[in-house]
Chain A
Amino acid sequence: MTALLEAERVSFAYGPRAVLSEVSLVVAPGELVGVIGPNGGGKTTLVRLLSGVLAPRAGSVRLRGTALTAWRRRELARRLAVVPQDPTLEFPFTALEVVLMGRAPHLPALGFPRAHDLAMARAAMDRLDVAGLEDRPLERLSGGERQRVLLARALAQEPEVLLLDEPTTHLDLRHQAGIYDVVAELRRTRGVAVVSVLHDLNLAALYCDRLVLLAGGRVACEGRPAEVLTPAVLRAAYATEVYVGTNALTGGPIVLPRGPTTT
């Protein structure tokens, strides 16, 4: 299993406040690694380090063995796509224009999208069930529609590595499943490596090959979902009592919170 994207003992601090300490993570082609953990644990910061917009204070992040800092931005953007948690767009770009932005790394500086690019963008939008929203300005879409448009943009980038920061926050049940189905298809057919930050532990259990539990800026536990999602581990990380059952369909764990720890 060759790592496609690898973070090795990265640390990061905002000023004096340490956010991540010695965090390591690897993801191979076709894998889906879930990053879970309580709020403030450093999950979003990790995504930003993995995408290269932040440089670690210590340690390194490498794509195909080369440090991110050594890659040119455009080159990186052709291989690595990010779906952020909360997109803001100051200007009234339409959904299609936003998805077409995903093609930008593949086009010359002032290049206009060719038929091929348009087709890709539209296919991506179709896949994510936002095809009919082409000419609507992004700000007039619902939260869920916006999230799916951004995922379509990431798909249009044709990445090898996909980073998702809580991609299902605004999505209803149907679309939550849909997203991960799309992601699964990408992994299967194109060998895309995916790292996804998740809040929902059950979704994590259902879809992820491996989990990394971040708490207090450190890796508290990592491994297969069944190994990580245990009452003891979760109690320590979330300060919450949980009930862990077995998913009758898959044989994997089901997690239900019972209440904050009293000690």
Chain B
Amino acid sequence: MRPPHLTARRLVTTSVALVALLVATLVAASLVGPVHVSLARALATADSTDAVILFRTRLPRVLLGAVVGGSLAAAGAALQALLGNPLACPHLLGISGGAAVAGVLALVAGADTVSPVVPLAAFAGALGAIAIVALGARAGGRTTPHAVLLVGVVFNALAAAALMLVNALASYTQAQGVLFWIMGSLSTQSYGLLAAAALYGLVGLAWLGVHAQDLNLLAAGEEGAAQLGVEVERTRRAVFLASSLLVGAAVSVSGMIGFVGLIVPHLLRLLLGPDQRLLLPASFLGGAVFLVWADTLARTVLGPVELPVGVVTALTGGPFFLFLLRRHLRRGLA
């Protein structure tokens, strides 16, 4: 049973514990893979296969997994509070659809999968989607969660149709590439890309963090929150934009990885309580840990062959979540 309210001390101790867990995860995951790597050799000789594997193929990928997982989970936590729905998922917003369509169009137009053109195009698509959904959901100067959800769902449906059209018109191998991109992949060698994603992730998290208390008060309803001093419209816009930035950046660099943004914040809320001042940073850190492990599994469990990471997040996240949920239901706490 968790303490009745959040203190600064509890926030700090929980965050420190999670950071420690993340660091341990990053180190461990970098050392795990289908190929055995010796850390000593890698550090000793910059020219060894160990060093190349560790620093060129594994480390960027592991770090990207942390950034993407954290971004998706933090966005999920904020959105669940904003939409008043503990089962909301960041892909619901429609931003992912916009990013996917733009990225896929770039792919099919012949952009190299290795150059930054595809992520840049996808990010542009995300920004476009943000604009469209934000404007579409705004009526009479207000952006209600209901409207955002509706417009997001419609936008996603349109995006899905566009993707199917592109797939139908593209060649077979192109279609395979498109499918792979959509299913999500953290495979990268680029520290530049990683740095960009990390920057967006941290900026987004900080922006959300500033509104954490407002998000808490929104739980009392739109009017309740206003009566407690929240500028509801401004808060909603800010949270929507910050979440969209997080999701857009994540999808642009790694495709649509599902489940992280839904499961991690929901799970952590069951364990830590709904206070966003703790839940937001905890979700970021927890999402990072979860995705890094999921990706480690994805690139290791079948030997030389890789599984799409989205498959692993669903197959591991789902049952574990069900188990925890049932425990809480039985204890009568959920």
Contact = CB atoms under 8 A, between A and B. Distances in A.
Interface string B262-291: 000000010001110100000000000000
A173 interface: no
B227 interface: yes
B interface, size bucket: 35 or more
Given A101-B220, A110-B213, A94 B227 contact: no
Nearest to A94: B4
Nearest to B227: A82
18 contacts: A53-B226, A73-B231, A77-B227, A77-B229, A89-B220, A90-B86, A91-B219, A93-B273, A94-B273, A96-B4, A104-B213, A105-B228, A112-B7, A112-B8, A113-B5, A134-B4, A135-B3, A137-B333
Given A90-B85, A90-B86, A110 B212 contact: yes
Interface of A: 48, 51-53, 73-78, 80-82, 84, 87-98, 100-102, 104-105, 109-113, 118, 134-135, 137, 157
A84 to B, nearest CB: 6
Nearest to A163: B227
B224 interface: yes
A88 B221 contact: yes
A106 to B, nearest CB: 9
Interface in B213-245: 213-214, 216-217, 219-224, 226-231
Contacts, number: 99
Interface of B: 1, 3-8, 11, 81, 84-86, 209-210, 212-214, 216-217, 219-224, 226-231, 269, 273-275, 277, 333-334
Contacts of B8: 112
Given A77-B227, A109-B213, A94 B220 contact: no
3 shortest A-B CB distances, which residue pairs? A77-B229, A91-B274, A135-B4
A52 B222 CA distance: 12
Contacts of A94: 4-5, 273
A93 B273 CA distance: 7
A97 B213 CA distance: 12
A110 B278 CA distance: 11
Nearest to B332: A140
Contacts of B230: 73
A104 B334 CA distance: 26
Contacts of A75: 229
Contacts of A137: 333
